[in-house]
Amino acid sequence: MSCVLLFSNNSYIIPSIMHQQLPRDIDPFRFAHNGVQISGTLPVASLTRLADKLANQQGEIQVTLQFDVDQTGTPYVEGHFSGELALICERCMQAMPYKFDIKSLLALVRHERKIEGLAEQYEPWLLENSDAVNPADLVEDEIILALPLVPRHEQACLPDELWSSGEQEIETEKPVSPFAVLSALKTKKEH
C-alpha cells in the first residue's frame, strides 16, 4: 500500500503525493488545520517498543490518519490501524496470530491543563515539546494499548499431560468461623 496525503479545504482536494510508507515527521496541528489524510503501511519491524512481545517482526500495519478540526475548534486525528502480529502465547510460549482493527479518536493537545476541557469522545494526544512527530509512535502507542494483557491461544495449546497435571485436587482450607473461635475460648474457661 502506498502513502497518500489529501489536503482538503472545504470543497476542493489538492492532488495527493505518493509514498511507499508513512512519512516520518509530520506537524499534526498544521495537518489538522489543513484537513490532511495520510494512509500507508508501517513495517512491524519498525515498532521497537513492541519487539519483546512479538514472536517475530514480520508483516505490515495498514494505517489511515484523518486530521481535522471540529466545530468547537479542537484539532483532532481519527486513526484506523489494522494488521496481524505474532504474539507469544503465555501458556505454551509459542507464536500465536493476533489480528487487530483499531479505531481511535484523539484530540491534539499542547498542554496538560487543556485535557480536562476535552469533549468526552476524545482521548488526548499530548504534544507539548514538538511540532514534528513521527506518526509511527502514535500507531505503536495505540497497538500497545489494544494488546491483550495475557496473550493465550483460544484452544488448548499445551500437551495433555501438562493440562491434566494442573487439575490435581488441592485440599482447600475451610474458613474458620469467628464464632468457632469464641466457642473454643468458652470451652477453655469452663474447664
Per-residue b or e along 76-101, where b marks 16 or more CB atoms closer than 10 Å to that residue's CB: bbebebebebbbebeeeeeebebeee
Residue 119 lies in a domain: yes
Q: For residues 44 and 62, is the Cβ–Cβ distance under 8 A? A: no
Structural domain total, the chain: 1
Residue 167 lies in a domain: no
This prediction has a pTM of: 0.69
Residues 6 or more apart whose CB falls under 8 angstroms from that of 65 comprise 37, 38, 39, 77, 78, 79, 80, 135, 138
Q: Please give the average pLDDT of every successive group of 10 residues along the chain, which has 191 residues.
A: 44 39 87 93 92 90 95 94 93 90 93 82 84 89 91 76 52 62 66 61
Residue 149 lies in a domain: yes
| Rounded Cα distance, 5 and 16, in Å | 5
Residue 63 lies in a domain: yes
Closest CA to 123 of 141, 147, 137: 141
Q: What is the pLDDT of residue 106?
A: 94
Residue 180 lies in a domain: no
Question: Domain span at residue 42?
Answer: 3-157
Residue 165 lies in a domain: no
Residue 76 lies in a domain: yes
Residue 50 lies in a domain: yes
